[in-house]
Amino acid sequence: MSAPTRTPSGAPAHLTGAGGGRVGDDAQRPDGVLKVRGEFAYGSDLWMEDMLWGVTLRSPHPYARIRSVDLGAALAVPGVHAVLTSDDVPGEKVYGLELADQPVLAVDVVRYQGEPVALVAADHPETARLAASRIQVDYEVWEPVTDARVALGHPTPDRPDTSPPRDQVHDAPAEVTELSRESAHLHPQGNLVRHLKVRKGDPEPAADVVVVGEYEVGMQDQAFLGPESGLAVPAEDGGVELYVATQWLHVDQRQICSALGLPPERVRLTLAGVGGAFGGREDLSMHVHACLLALHTGRPVKMSYNREESFFGHVHRHPATMRYEHGATRDGDLVYVRAAIYFDGGAYASSTPAVVGNGGTMGVGPYVVPNVHVDCYGAYTNNPPCGAMRGFGSVQTAFAYESQMDALAAELGMDPVELRCRNAMEEGSPTPTGQVIDSPAPVAELLRRLQAMPLPPEAATGDDVDLRDMPGGVSNTTHGEGVRRGVGYAVAYKNVAFSEGYDDHSTARVRLEVVGGEAVATVHTAAAEVGQGLVTVEQQIARTELGVEQVTVHPKDTSVGSAGSTSASRQTYVTGGAVKAACEAVRARVLERARTVVGRPVADLRLDGGEVVSDAEGIAVPLADVLGDEAVEETLEWRHRPTEAVDPETGQGFAHVQYAFSAHRAVVDVDTELGLVKVVEMACTQDVGKAINPQAVVGQIQGGTAQGLGLAVMEEILIRDGRVQNPSFTDYLIPTVLDMPPMRIEVLECADPHAPYGLRGVGEAPNISSGPAVLAAIRAATGLPLTRVPVRPEHLTGT
Amino acid sequence: MRLTCTVNGTEQQVDDVWEGESLLYVLRERMGLPGSKNACEQGECGSCTVYLDGLPVCACLVAAGQAEGRAIGTVEGLTDGDTGQLHPVQQAFLDAGAVQCGFCTPGLLVATDDLVGRSLAEGRKPADAEIREALAGNLCRCTGYEKILDAVRLAADRMSEAGR
């Protein structure tokens, strides 16, 4: 079976461009030319002559029993080739990243609005949609559970005397037990996905000054632009080839094999072009569905969600409710933090356990706190499933702990930056989980540098006003009257790579050979390029380590070992580390061979400029002469130093391998009469250890800043009774170029001695600190407490 | 139905177009021109921006039949067809680091080409506030827009220089 092709764009290609560049250079991405020519093949661009289109029928109800499904009318639609339900799933009916609890297609019960119920393949996407709409599903609609605390039987402000946790299993009908559906567990094992406890120091600490706050963070969407999409092609061996936009090919493969009942060698995945991810592609979407339809029809099947379906087709960022209590001395030294953090995981677990791990272990922020008592919960509800999104469990808590630091500063009459610097972590500091920070942690320096940056000019007044600079813009809502300026700071830290004892590794295959008289390296990993620029980094590392200019990036697929997930800011560290190690192994073999050709010991040889160089002798021999016709290839699995599981009762343990630190200063203008916010400037300082590609590092900081700003002032999936109210870009707002202010960025490079090149993961930290800085600035402008994000106009006007 | 139009200077004719299809669908699925992207298909994101008789439009909002007899320009038409040379706007996006995942890029390239072309025709380069206004209909989720602004300025500088 041939690979999917179309004219003029091809299947995932070997990437050879662009202009060179080693570690530390602003190298250009090798897929850049294809992307600006419109020829880069994203998952939704794949096409084969005889392919069918697959669509999903989803549940309109957040919680219901399926009494019956009638496929007859759908099958009768001309052009329809298959209509499938859970009965057609040959292997395991449920899957999941950490817990297998999510049905491939609904089995008897649907637990969230948008849960896949049936699939259709047809020769035109509209035919498939028409047929799907004719599937008759008879639902017995149940009352959904929509609050994480209620799901756990914990008290809420509205229900202070809620009874203790329930013990009823999900499929015992409410009428039998005389309990409402709301009182029943959603899954047999109960509604608690994970409870992480952190206990450190004195359990009953006393402090001079205490501040208490309750905070709420709404549900954010990754809103990547490229839809969930891919093409499944049935193979002659009874298996399937899947070309798909994803973040981790091998974890997809494991789950697909389980659902299809096929061994890994018969389920082969290749990464299609990915139009952004941000965590939203860690879970399966159309993967198994397209494979099922392809295997059933014997035809290639393409699936590509439209925007509305995309809002139902991937997990979101967990909404959170958090109660914090901070105690400090009169001088401003933190004495203790107590926190209760609730993450609403929605209907299925996804990565909720790990999100709870991050939220709990890093929930007090980058500060030294001698006494800590944190309870972090993840719960099942009938809201949309929540899982990974950039910042992963740290974004939510940062809003709370940074708001608390500002509240404490106000209570103490201290400058908020001063209070933060006084309590800031540094190298050698203990974390709440008993780790000692063993690499640079320049928290105070990041803040001081921000503070030293010039502020933007004061807002114009009177006749000088340019409406485009005003809150409300050209809507002409103000000429400056009622507008107040505020400045706010926030700082964040985030673990890099997978934590809590996970065997976090990556695999790289590197080959060096002579092509057309020139030494060329090929780097083959399964690491997903999702836009962040890992393909560029892979080339830069190979150029640096092998001293060649031409480096080809092999298409990402499962014919090489796992690279782990493109998430947790980990790929440059872990896959970068694997590529570096594989290059070093190749280099050792080449130099060993060169030893006899050049006649110098290996220790005296290095690779540079396509030559084997001996500085001592002043000799340079072309690599092509050393290699001849023979390729040198090495495949290596590489690991960062191990972490360990935390103690279940105290949360103590070496949980995280590395931390990333960033700080933001936000300047905002607020129209206090209409509640409109204009972010005037964002400034950011971040320690990246070593900027492998400085231009791409800055791009990550800018993009992360935008997503944090979005959550602070506009982005929220609105849920009412378990139903999504705004599944479109008309109603779910992400920042446009008009919403984003100019940014001032300073990148620090304080090397981490444990990491390749001293680098630190970059992508997530700026997404964590930017939103709380914006919130602090709005608070400074208005004097309002503001304990919920996104901040809406009515929160600012009291209407 | 049969649809006949000019795409990137070449006459195209496709048959069996269903009346409900958009121009975007026809370009992507029937003409083999997937450069224009399908991020929202409801006119909110700008990733499918194409020229329709010289004016930038969202191809997802144009019914295929509305394109009958008209001239379409897509991102694929920006590159010089004879030499393969990138358009200055394309090169500027690469040089400025304005391309990450790249899904918004084709629409932004067309919108930028339109903006810079109009400005230079008036003998000036677009000011920042104008750039922001002109690109406000093109969503990007990766870059935070800073490098896109850099790219537009760079393209305007280079094209202005070349036009002298």
Determine if the pTM surpasses 0.90: yes
**Cα–Cα distances in Å, from A405 out to A4, A71, A392, A410, A666?**
54, 58, 21, 9, 16
The share of chain B scoring above pLDDT 70, in percent, equals: 99
Q: To the nearest whole angstrom, how far is the Cα of B28 from the nearest Cα of chain A? A: 8
Contact A743 B144 (CB under 8 A): yes
Q: Identify the bridge partners of residue A198 per DSSP, sorted by sequence position.
A: A374
Tokens of A386: 């929540």
pLDDT tens figures, A484-543 = 999 999 999 999 999 999 999 999 999 999 999 999 999 999 999 999 999 999 999 999
Residues β-bridged to residue A301: A52, A232
| Number of separate helices (H) and strands (E) present in chain B | 5, 5
Q: How many CB atoms lie within 10 A of CB A484?
A: 16
DSSP, residue by residue, A13-24: --B--S----TT
Cis peptide before A18 (omega within 30 of 0): yes
Q: What is the pLDDT of residue A799?
A: 84
Lowest mean pLDDT among A13-27, A328-342, A493-507, A730-744: A13-27
Contact residues on chain B for A41, CB-CB shorter than 8 A: 34
**Number of Cβ atoms within 10 Å of the Cβ of A175:** 9
User: Three-state secondary structure along A632-671?
Assistant: EEEEEEEECCCCCCCCCCCCCCCCCCEEEEEEEEEEEEEE
pLDDT of residue A172: 41
Question: Euclidean distance between the first and final Cα of chain A, in Å?
Answer: 63
In this prediction, residues A289-298 reach a mean pLDDT of 98
* Beta-sheet strand order (sheet of A743-748): A483-496, A658-671, A676-687, A743-748
Instruction: Determine what percent of chain A is predicted with pLDDT higher than 70.
Output: 95
Provide φ and ψ at A377, rounded to 5°. Answer: -120, 145
The predicted structure's pLDDT at residue A163: 53
Residue A474 is given by DSSP the state: G
Residues A450 and A684: their CA atoms lie apart, in Å, by 7
A30-65: per-residue pLDDT in tens? 999 999 999 999 999 999 989 999 999 999 999 999
Is B106's CB within 8 Å of A227's CB?
no
**Residue that is written with structure tokens 């114009």 in the block:** A460
User: Does the distance separating the beta carbons of A39 and B35 come in below 8 Å?
Assistant: yes
| B12 membership: H or E segment, kind and range | strand B10-14
pLDDT class for A616, splitting at 50, 70, 90? confident
Read off the pLDDT band of B62 (50, 70, 90): very high
The whole-chain average pLDDT of chain B stands at 97
Residue A685 confidence class, pLDDT cut points 50, 70, 90: very high
| Per-residue pLDDT, A3 | 44
Does residue B58 sit at the A interface (CB-CB below 8 Å)? no
Give the DSSP per-residue string, A729-741: TTTS----TTTPP
Mean pLDDT of A59-80: 97
User: Could you report the per-residue pLDDT of A86-103, keeping only the tens digit for each?
Assistant: 999 999 999 999 999 999
Question: What is the pLDDT, as a whole number, of residue A175?
Answer: 41
Q: Which of A530, A695, A737 sits opposite B132 (nearest CB)?
A: A737
Return the closest-CA partner of residue A411 out of A773, A664, A785, A795: A785
Q: Is B20 on the interface with A (CB under 8 A)?
A: yes
Rounded to the nearest angstrom, the minimum Cα separation between A313 and chain B is 14
pLDDT tops 80 at residue A180: no
CA distance B15 to chain A (A): 15
- In degrees and rounded to multiples of 5, residue B159 shows phi and psi of -70, -35
3-class state of residue A608 by DSSP: strand
On average, the pLDDT of chain A sits at 94
B36 in reach of chain A (CB within 8 A): yes
Indicate the SS3 state at residue A333.
coil
Is residue A183 very low, low, confident or very high in pLDDT (cuts 50, 70, 90)? low
Average of pLDDT values for A179-192? 74
Burial of A741 (0-12, 13-18, 19+ CB in 10 A): buried
Judged by DSSP in three states, A378 sits in: strand
In angstroms, rounded to a whole number, what is the distance separating the alpha carbons of residues A749 and A661?
11
Among the ranges given (A6-20, A100-114, A355-369, A779-793), the one the predictor scored with the smallest mean pLDDT: A6-20
B27: closest CA of chain A, how far (Å): 11
Name A567's Cβ contacts closer than 8 Å, sequence gap at least 6: A247, A248, A279, A282, A388, A392
Best mutation target among B42, B85, B99 (most A Cβ atoms within 10 Å) is B99
Q: Is B42 at the interface with chain A, CB within 8 A?
A: yes
**pLDDT tens string B144-160:** 999 999 999 999 999 99
Contact status of B94 with chain A (Cβ, < 8 Å): yes
**Banded model confidence at residue A5, pLDDT cuts 50, 70, 90:** very low
DSSP state of A240: E
The whole-number average pLDDT for the span A390-410 is: 98
Q: Is A760 helix (H, G, I), strand (E, B) or coil?
A: coil
Q: Are A262 and A294 in contact (CB under 8 A)?
A: no
Cα–Cα distance between A76 and A54 in angstroms, integer? 16
Beta carbons of A226 and B76 less than 8 Å apart: no
Report ipTM (2 d.p.): 0.99
Interface test with B, best of A737, A744, A769 (most B CBs within 10 A): A737
Contact list in B for residue A227 (CB cut-off 8 A) is 38-39
pLDDT computed for residue A576 by the predictor: 98
The yes-or-no verdict on residue A694 having pLDDT over 60 is: yes
pLDDT for A203: 95
Q: How far is A491 from chain B (nearest CA, A)?
A: 19
List, for residues B75-128, the tens digit of each pLDDT value: 999 999 899 999 999 999 999 999 999 999 999 999 999 999 999 999 999 999
Q: What is the C-alpha to C-alpha distance for residues A684 and A703, in angstroms, rounded to an integer?
A: 12
Q: Which residue type occupies A423?
A: N
Best of A34, A35, A274 to substitute, by most chain B Cβ atoms within 10 angstroms, is A35
How far apart are the C-alpha atoms of A91 and A260, rounded to whole Å? 5
Q: Name the burial class of residue B142, with classes exposed (0-12), middle (13-18) and buried (19+) by CB atoms within 10 angstroms of its CB.
A: buried
Cα nearest neighbour of B142 on chain A: A703
Give residues with Cβ within 8 angstroms of B7, minimum separation 6: B27, B31, B33, B72, B73, B74, B77
Bridge partner list, A82:
A121
pLDDT interval class at A18 (50, 70, 90): low
Quick check: A734 and B139 in contact, CB under 8 A? yes
Q: What are phi and psi of A242, to 5 degrees?
A: -120, 120
Nearest in space to A400 (alpha carbons), one of A794, A797, A796, A785: A785
A728 to chain B, closest Cα gap in Å: 8
Cite the beta strand spans of A236-385 per DSSP E: 240-244, 267-271, 301-304, 316-317, 320-328, 334-344, 371-379
Q: Shortest CA distance to A524 belongs to which of A598, A582, A438?
A: A582
- Run of H or E including A520: strand A518-524
Contact between A661 and A493 under an 8 Å Cβ cutoff? The reply is: yes
Q: Reduced to 3 states, what is the DSSP secondary structure of residue A611?
A: strand
pLDDT at A719: 98
Output the six-digit token pair for A452.
Answer: 């030293």
